[in-house]
Structure 1
Amino acid sequence: MTGETRGGGRAVTGEERRAALLARLAALPPERREALRALTLAGAAAGRKAPADGGAGGAGAQEVPGSAEAGRSWPLSFGQERLWFLNRFDPADTVYNTPWCVRLRGPVDAGALAEALTRVAGRHHVLRARFRLDGDRPVQVVAPAGPVPLEVAEIAGDPAPAVVELVNRPFDLESDPPLRAALLRLDDGTSLLCLVLHHIVVDGWSLDVLMRELAECYAARREGRGPVLEELPMQYTDFAVEDRRRDRTARLEYWTRTLAGVPVLDLPADLPRPARWTGRGGQEPLRVPGGTVARLEEVARRERCTLFMALVAAYQAALGLLAGQDDLCVGVPVAGRGRTELAPLIGYFSTTLVLRADLSGDPTFRELLGRTRVTLLRGLQHADAPFEQILGALRLPRDLSRPPLLQAMFNLHNMPKDDLLRTSMGDLEVEVYPVPAAGRTKAEVSVDLWRAGEGLGGVLDYGCDLFTAETARRFARAFTGLLERAGTGPDLRLSELGGG
């Protein structure tokens, strides 16, 4: 990582910054140091969830009661604190960079686009936050409103390398804004708008809010009017204050009871496990035909379950068969916006729900689906306990070679119809540009699925320090094959579902 210069002196290297951080941690009281160590080791995931419909209210960016003041320091939410420590632990790691790219057809007004970004950042103070140490605790400081830089570049040929470079550029959360934007003009006459935000200020729901407001502000500028945006009821910094004050004792007692003694998921690896988890990842595509999805949905409906429950159950079963385990955990992201006033905000609200699978007794898929339903519903009742607090309460043995508690993740993306997948922005035609794989993963194995016509498309991300591409393809075939067999034979036992 390149060094940075402070106060006109020599550049401070990443190693020096890391050493300084560790020295500060070593000086803390033992109980505080242990809590921060748990946060540093924690993994995170954020998923997308369809947002509530956004209404139109007052015009322009309005100041709201209790909103942040520029220059004032605010606490971090529990989720933000974990991501901050992970960033300080390894500033060059870009696994928590969150990208979104769209292709624009038509003459793009770069000035109007930059102004639209500036308006959105002016409304949502978290997009102007800087993250710093205040004594022994990190805080967020809201920078004064100002222009959001828009990088503009001419790209000849395939734009994928330029996009990957933009996505994999680390954020300096202490000094730089947590949002970067680039307009790449392509030689076919179209342009790519690429937004990259650090996960500390955004989740999947937030991306939808961002694109909705960006489109309205751009269209307003082009049409010579003020943007029509709903008035924000609060700011993310207000939520962070509330998050630190909430008493979650009962929730944490549930999770420590439910997850006591849970083993790690030990999938058969091709390569020796490194001493430290690096997050280096590969990716394999997934495809589930429409017929398979329809049969699985029918099985789920008869058991008072959702398609999501059936997919999770099948994923747990596939992992258990591959690892030879009947007890394992899978993490699924939840939106974390249980109150209506949080719906129009940009920020990091999502958390990870830990689903402990019980595959004991070689159950039928129908029986496993019933168990998964109960586990998921109970978990959702206690979902407001932040993942990092659960980790701290469990006091798991330290193991830097694995993501803590969750080695496997699953997500079914309920993609919005009108904002992330919008087809216009002012006088421009818009289509989603799939971000090329950036070679990073948050888990040893992770499945992401989304609707694709009548079926499902998706990807399997895997840790390439452990698995070869061929093994990842075998994992993917095991999962999709089990989905097919479960849909046609829900009364088959797991040992039978694992067949070819």
Structure 2
Amino acid sequence: MSAWVNPAAPRRARKLQAELRAALSTTLPEYMIPSRFVFLDMLPLTPNDKVDRKALPEPDLLRPDSQTTYEAPRNDLERALAELWGQFLRVDQIGIHDDFFDAGGHSLLATQVTSRMRAGLGLDVSLRDLFEYPTVAALADRLADRGAPPTGFAPMPKVARGGDLPLSFAQEWLCNDYPDAPDNPVHNVVTAARLRGPLDEDALLRAFAHVVRRHESLRTRLVARPAGLVQVIETEGVWPVSRSRLEGLAEPLPAIRRILDEESRRPFHLAQGPLIRARLATLGEEERILVLSIHHAVTDNWSYGVLLRDLAIAYDAYVEGHDPAQPPLDIQFADFAAWQRHEVESGALDGHLRYWRHLLGELPAPPRLVDDHLSEEEPVAVSGNAFALTPELTVALRVLAQREGATLFMTLLAAFGALLTAYTGSRDLAVGFPTAGRDRPEAEELIGFFANSLVLRADLSGDPTFRALLARVREQTVEAYAHQEAPLQPLLREFAAEHDRIRLGFNLLNAPLATPVLGEVRLEPLSDDWGFVHVPQGVEPGTGDLSLIMLEDAGVLRGTWLHAVDRVGPRLVNRLVRQWSQLLRTVVADPDIRIEELGRRLRESGTPPARDLPGNQRKQG
């Protein structure tokens, strides 16, 4: 949890941090006391003179005021680890006894740091090592005891251009095995931002052109050949931008929604390209709506952060009258796709693939998501039911995760399993979840469809306590991450029947996102539900029956429940939606509650439906 304070002189920041924490401890419970304080000359305000939470700067650089006394690194290895961790955690000082996850680390950051320790420092270190030895001192001792020789990654080679190039496994799965055809607009990734400030439209158009030149994936077409689809990269490319004029409308929101719906329904032509477009709608002299539409075959959640960063760098440069000074990329997405196929075909990933073959071959039958046991008075839920947890519950969940040596993702995933067990009786659940698929440092700077799909078998047998369940989920998640180098997509066709048993999905969106500004122009999400991503009303999960997708935004956990309306009982979904926060509050207050008792309380609670908030969003917790 973080706090923003004004006014305060930066030189007094470290001393004030300790004094403020001591003062707050007299009135607040421990879990509500901020671990980081950001000191500002002035708090950013909205036009209504309220604090603009989304414009607050990231709480970085100042070391968190943890309970651990700072102790400096004692040798070269500890110094290298502390410096690397500090870069990713955005903290100026990492002590050798500071816990990586207590300092703000999560599963995605852990994957990045592990990759960088291997590639940049040449260390023989795994993701499991970081989870089991989460301090600099413990990890350094572990590596010293292991005595293994330095390792690292061989550079990812570039492939020759000028001809057809192979698809990545993720692209191949989307185009060949996804239930909807690749030209179906369900694959459109539509994002929308409100632009506030004096926008230089010419600089924005030039910035779009720069991003297209920089990333080959944005000037790629997918063309059918006798042997299947291939990537064809154009030498030149363009980001088409159309304009709409919405000035003078008393209520512009319906017009904005129509634009978003149009972009969501308008298909891309994969063979013709381009697979990108934009719409700039002007509401006033210093207010616009920017809508970006990109085919999923060339983008993913992580890519949006890369796109915003590169767009901002180029925009700022053109406003200042010079070209962007970004170093060239070492590789492009097509190089990654070719390298990925070589790794699979060469046998380099056989060990990881054996793990996934074994797991896929033993998946349990999916739970019955029916509502015939519920009263007809139970309201019916629509797919796309959005909600937000309170800041207090969000903080309490993070504290619980830290106390149990887990991540927020693991804690929410364990709770998801407990909730489903309460209403389906299934104690063996196969849950699919995506990862960024960027465990190589070269991939972190690229735009493309890298995401990999993993699966976890949640074991709730034996009536464990929630604490014990979380420990099981933690172990299973770490095990899955340890084998994430292998793409699962090639196995999904081989294990088609078994893959069909993965009817549940969970995700916590936490990919890095640069501060959304273009010079003096602020970018704000149109919707709190999904941040910048536009999700059409009534959208269903692309695969599976039931999915819960969550996002941490400005200190609040938000989420959306998606379900297949023809296979899932809508009254059951409504019960899950409205009891989600009740379950979370219960396990935060009593993590030693047993799963059977937790389910009994939920079934007998009879909590009335929460009142809808504007935008079909419910405040929970």
TM-score (norm 1): 0.78
Question: Per-residue displacement from partner, 1:404-437 (whole Å, max 9, x unpaired)?
Answer: 34322112222535x2x41x20232322233443
Give the CA deviation at 1:210. 0.7
8 Å contact kept, 2:433–2:507:
yes
Q: 1:133 to 1:361 in 2, by over 3 A?
A: same
1:386 is matched with which residue? 487
Q: Distance in 1 between matches of 2:322 and 2:285?
A: 31
- Counterpart among 402, 420, 433 of residue 301 in structure 1: 402
Q: 1:321 to 1:479 in 2, by over 3 A?
A: same
Q: Distance in 2 between matches of 1:241 and 1:454?
A: 40
2:510 corresponds to 1:409: no
Give the CA deviation at 1:92. 5.3
2:317 corresponds to 1:231: no
Q: Describe the SS at the equivalent of 1:282.
A: coil
2:423 corresponds to 1:322: yes
2:467 corresponds to 1:366: yes
Q: Which amino acid aligns with 2:585?
A: E
Q: Which has the higher contact order (CA 8 A, sep 6+)?
A: 1
- Identical aligned residues as a percent: 34
2:302 is matched with which residue? 205
Q: Which amino acid aligns with 1:385?
A: A
Q: 1:365 to 1:183 in 2, by over 3 A?
A: same
Give the CA deviation at 1:470. 4.8
- Could you tell which deviates more after superposition, 345-354 or 450-459? 450-459
Give the CA deviation at 1:108. 3.3
Q: 1:431 to 1:284 in 2, by over 3 A?
A: same
Q: Describe the SS at the equivalent of 1:126.
A: helix
Q: Distance in 1 between matches of 2:108 and 2:370?
A: 32
Q: Which amino acid aligns with 2:158?
A: G
Could you list the runs of 5+ residues in structure 1 that have no partner in the other structure?
1-47, 54-63, 272-280, 398-402
Question: Per-residue displacement from partner, 1:257-302 (whole Å, max 9, x unpaired)?
Answer: 123232342343369xxxxxxxxx8211222233333443343333
8 Å contact kept, 1:265–1:323:
no
Q: Distance in 2 between matches of 1:328 and 1:87?
A: 22
Q: 1:163 to 1:67 in 2, by over 3 A?
A: farther
1:494 is matched with which residue? 595
Q: 1:264 to 1:129 in 2, by over 3 A?
A: farther
8 Å contact kept, 2:193–2:524:
yes
8 Å contact kept, 2:165–2:231:
yes
8 Å contact kept, 1:75–1:240:
yes
Give the CA deviation at 1:78. 0.7
1:214 is matched with which residue? 311
Give the CA deviation at 1:370. 1.3
- Could you tell which deviates more after superposition, 477-486 or 388-397? 388-397
8 Å contact kept, 2:174–2:182:
no
1:43 is matched with which residue? none
**RMSD of the alignment, in Å?**
2.7
Question: Per-residue displacement from partner, 1:162-191 (whole Å, max 9, x unpaired)?
Answer: 112112322211112111111112268521
Q: Distance in 2 between matches of 1:81 and 1:199?
A: 12
Give the CA deviation at 1:306. 1.9
1:14 is matched with which residue? none
Q: Which amino acid aligns with 2:317?
A: A
Q: Which amino acid aligns with 1:257?
A: H
Q: Distance in 2 between matches of 1:150 and 1:52?
A: 34
2:158 is matched with which residue? 66
8 Å contact kept, 1:160–1:436:
no
- Could you tell which deviates more after superposition, 175-184 or 466-475? 466-475
Q: Describe the SS at the equivalent of 2:185.
A: coil
Q: Describe the SS at the equivalent of 1:121.
A: helix
2:522 corresponds to 1:432: no
8 Å contact kept, 1:333–1:352:
yes
Q: Which amino acid aligns with 1:409?
A: G
1:243 is matched with which residue? 340
2:223 corresponds to 1:143: no
1:285 is matched with which residue? 386
2:282 is matched with which residue? 185
Q: Distance in 1 between matches of 2:460 and 2:414?
A: 10
Q: 1:188 to 1:449 in 2, by over 3 A?
A: farther
Q: 1:87 to 1:206 in 2, by over 3 A?
A: same
Q: Which amino acid aligns with 2:481?
A: L
TM-score (norm 2): 0.64
1:335 is matched with which residue? 436
Which structure 2 residues correspond to residues 34-113 of structure 1 after superposition, within 5 A?
66=158, 69=161, 71-86=162-177, 90-91=181-182, 93-113=184-204
Give the CA deviation at 1:483. 1.3
Work out the number of aligned pairs and report it. 425
Q: 1:52 to 1:192 in 2, by over 3 A?
A: farther
1:167 is matched with which residue? 264
8 Å contact kept, 1:67–1:235:
no
Q: Distance in 1 between matches of 2:231 and 2:276?
A: 15
Q: Distance in 2 between matches of 1:309 and 1:221?
A: 43
Q: 1:370 to 1:96 in 2, by over 3 A?
A: same
Could you list the runs of 5+ residues in structure 2 that have no partner in the other structure?
1-106, 114-155, 373-381, 528-532, 606-621
Q: Describe the SS at the equivalent of 1:99.
A: strand
Q: 1:113 to 1:294 in 2, by over 3 A?
A: closer
8 Å contact kept, 2:157–2:335:
no
Q: Which amino acid aligns with 2:469?
A: L
Q: Describe the SS at the equivalent of 1:266.
A: coil
Q: 1:132 to 1:309 in 2, by over 3 A?
A: same
Find the structure with the greater CA-based Rg: 2
Q: Distance in 1 between matches of 2:284 and 2:491?
A: 50
8 Å contact kept, 1:67–1:234:
no
Q: Distance in 2 between matches of 1:481 and 1:261?
A: 33
Give the CA deviation at 1:67. 6.6
Q: 1:122 to 1:264 in 2, by over 3 A?
A: farther
Q: 1:178 to 1:270 in 2, by over 3 A?
A: farther
Q: Describe the SS at the equivalent of 1:330.
A: strand
2:584 is matched with which residue? 483
Q: Distance in 2 between matches of 1:457 and 1:165?
A: 26
Q: Which amino acid aligns with 2:405?
A: R
Give the CA deviation at 1:89. 5.5
- Counterpart among 232, 235, 252 of residue 353 in structure 2: 252
8 Å contact kept, 1:413–1:448:
yes
Q: Describe the SS at the equivalent of 2:437.
A: coil
Question: Per-residue displacement from partner, 1:5-45 (whole Å, max 9, x unpaired)?
Answer: xxxxxxxxxxxxxxxxxxxxxxxxxxxxxxxxxxxxxxxxx
Give the CA deviation at 1:395. 4.3
Q: Describe the SS at the equivalent of 1:396.
A: helix
